[in-house]
Structure 1
């Protein structure tokens, strides 16, 4: 390494330019007077004494009197150790910068594992109270009672709530009047279920059922994970439950948070030539911005529809489910949760008017 490069590195390690220059000169001379060090380096004569005292204070050199002030380098062991530690920190910093650059931001995408069920329920309660669009909950009786005030508040705010209850065989069923205050649809079963709360397609609170050997909870703030938990809820829990309360109101306007349910209901109408007008609230797929628009449904795309038949439970099948809507300005395609090939992901579809042919 050239002298100039070594001097620059020492400056990076915290020495001033004069200190680095003087120290390299002392290393080359071995031992020398302050005057000689100043002559062989670029340190001005008036500054050399202050520079040498600072180097001595930092442990780089020692000074001694021999007719005049002299200096010699200490054993470089401590200096080398300091430089190597600094090098390690720089390398660690470089690795950390690379990791943070490659990793997605965790500001809105977080996964937390917790030990206490109360922590999961506290988070679920907070999220349910903040819900704007839809909530899906699977809970036992005790968990339900804990969350009931939050569910009531969300229901009063117009949030669509699916509630799956785990009730013992000898437990009395909640009254329909009580359930009408907390949920849009309620089902139950006696087989133990894990606790799960899904809120607005972004937040998930999960814990294994009480008979599980695993005692932990998971709190997730991420749309992709919420989508996976949604299908677990629908296929693994909701489908195996018995109805207690169904959304049987056929009056208009009628809201849907599940595009497949919407397609199931409007498909026969479209087949009969009816004009179906809707309002869509959702997200523009490309930009992620929220939107709201009105239009007329002119087509639906659901490859499983004809094969399954309108009486089959095709609502819970995967694959494409798209509604084509003609607005005043353009014709757009609307998908459901996780839409990627459509123009918009619908968070709510409001059936405003049906005009029969």
Structure 2
């Protein structure tokens, strides 16, 4: 089936077959085992086994008599009970870990391999939830639907969200993301998520066993390379679909996104108030001033110029070497 309802049911720990059967029952009043097989597509020999497991979990009712009928129990009650059980288990796990965990003094790995669609999706959702300032994502329509609620919530929190969707735009879906910077492109491309310029997930597709794989990276230099890759191979070749009417209160950590967003939204020469945090000569610095120029040299640099009093600073990315200030983050104030 592969619907949104199917995906949500799997998030509650149901197997593929259990999710298919539950979806069939939730969308129909009551069904015979034969009807369940016909609607869900699960193998006939497995239907009674799956129904038995769902009964044990308190999710379905069975009618008495020879001709069995099955119906889904109230979803709030059945899944609510499961949530309570999970929360209790989580609390117990946390207590055990807190008491017995040992700290490894060796350095932590910065690159992790994730496998299976479910693990990847859950990690992406968690990282989107944890983003404070900026989310950059490229994904297919199917995956964007699964990220929809989390991304809309991030936009409502004031996080800067930039989306590239492929292989084709879906106006009804994209209209849900008002306030995001959206680009579209034809054809397939890499699925990437970068949050707060501190973490990147890169989908590496399926193997011969048809498992999904992705790499999660938290090393600064590799994140910089990932951002560079994203800009040149995904962002730049895509077409602008929509941008916010204003960037006021938006925070950016990526200079190429900042430069493009400013050019999309403002006449920069009019001056844009901002607050910058960054590094100058190896020391942290905060600057309140006016952005009065954007400079893009394709393939080489994305810079802005901030005037504060009589002084004008050139500002580049976190790894900038030519500019006066290497940007950590910048908040647009007007």
**TM-score range, shorter-chain basis?**
0.5 to 0.7
Partner of residue 261, structure 1: 260
Quick one: distance in 1 between partners of 2:274 and 2:198?
Answer: 22
Aligned partner of 1:188 among 173, 184, 191 = 184
2:141 corresponds in structure 1 to 141
1:218 corresponds in structure 2 to 215
> For the structure 1 residues 160 and 277, does the alpha-carbon distance in structure 2 shift closer, same or farther, using more than 3 Å as the test?
closer
1:62-93: CA deviations, max 9, x gaps?
xxxxxxxxxxxxxxxxxxxxxxxxxxxxxxxx
Offset, 1:175: 4.0
- Would the alpha carbon gap of residues 229 and 294 (structure 1) be closer, same or farther in structure 2, given more than 3 Å must change? same
The answer to whether residue 204 in structure 2 is matched with residue 208 in structure 1 is yes
- For the pair shown, the structure with the greater C-alpha radius of gyration is 1
Determine whether 1:347 maps to 2:329. yes
Deviations 1:254-311 (A, max 9, x none): 76653433674799754xxx5x25222323255575x6431234666x474xxxxxxx
| Aligned counterpart, 2:28 | none
State the shift of 1:184 in Å: 0.9
Once residues 128 and 156 of structure 1 are traced to their aligned partners in structure 2, the CA distance between those partners, rounded to angstroms, is 12
Instruction: Please state how far the C-alpha of 1:206 moved relative to its aligned partner.
Output: 0.9
Question: Which residue of 304, 315, 319 maps to 1:334?
Answer: 315
SS at match of 1:321: strand
Match of 1:293 in 2: 287
Tell me, yes or no, if the aligned pair for 1:140 and 1:166 is still in contact at 8 Å: yes
Deviation at 1:187, TM superposition (A): 2.4
1:246 to 243, 246, 254: 243
- For residues 235 and 351 of structure 1, what CA distance do their matches in structure 2 show? 29
Indicate how the Cα distance of structure 1 residues 268 and 192 shifts in structure 2: closer, same or farther if over 3 A, else same. closer
* Equivalent position of 1:283 in the other structure: 278
Q: Contact 2:274–2:332 (CA<8 Å) still a contact in 1?
A: yes
Q: CA deviation at 1:252?
A: 5.8
User: Residue by residue, what CA displacement relative to the aligned partner does 1:190-218 show, whole Å, maximum 9, x if unpaired?
Assistant: 41222210011110011124699895210
3-state SS of paired residue (2:172): coil
How many pairs are equivalent? 226
CA–CA separation in structure 2 for the residues paired with 1:113 and 1:251: 35
The structural deviation recorded for 1:137 is: 0.8
Instruction: Check 1:145–1:319 CA distance in 2 against 1; reply closer, same or farther (3 A cut).
Output: same
Where do residues 1-357 of structure 1 align in structure 2 (5 Å cutoff)? 106-107=107-108, 110-167=110-167, 172-180=170-178, 184-209=180-205, 215-247=212-244, 249-250=245-246, 258-261=257-260, 264=263, 270=269, 274=270, 276-285=271-280, 289=284, 292-297=286-291, 302=295, 304=297, 314=298, 317-319=299-301, 321-327=303-309, 332-341=313-322, 342-350=324-332, 352=334
* Alpha-carbon distance in 2 for matches of 1:266, 1:137: 20
Secondary structure at the counterpart of residue 208 of structure 1: strand
Distance 1:245 1:259, change over 3 A: closer
TM-score, with normalisation over the residues of structure 1? 0.52
Aligned to 1:77: none
Within 2, Cα distance between the matches of 1:263 and 1:142? 30
Distance 2:283 2:216 in 1: 23
Helix, strand or coil at the partner of 2:231: helix
Distance in 2 separating the partners of 1:251 and 1:319: 22
Aligned-residue RMSD, C-alpha: 3.8
Residue by residue over 1:166-191, the C-alpha shift from the partner in whole angstroms, topping out at 9 and shown as x without a partner, is: 246xx8543453122xx612223341
2:262–2:268 contact (8 Å) kept in structure 1: no
296 and 185 in structure 1: CA distance in 2 versus 1, 3 angstrom threshold? closer
Q: TM-score, normalised by structure 2?
A: 0.55
Residue 334 of structure 1: SS of its match in structure 2? Answer: strand
2:236 alignment partner, SS class: helix
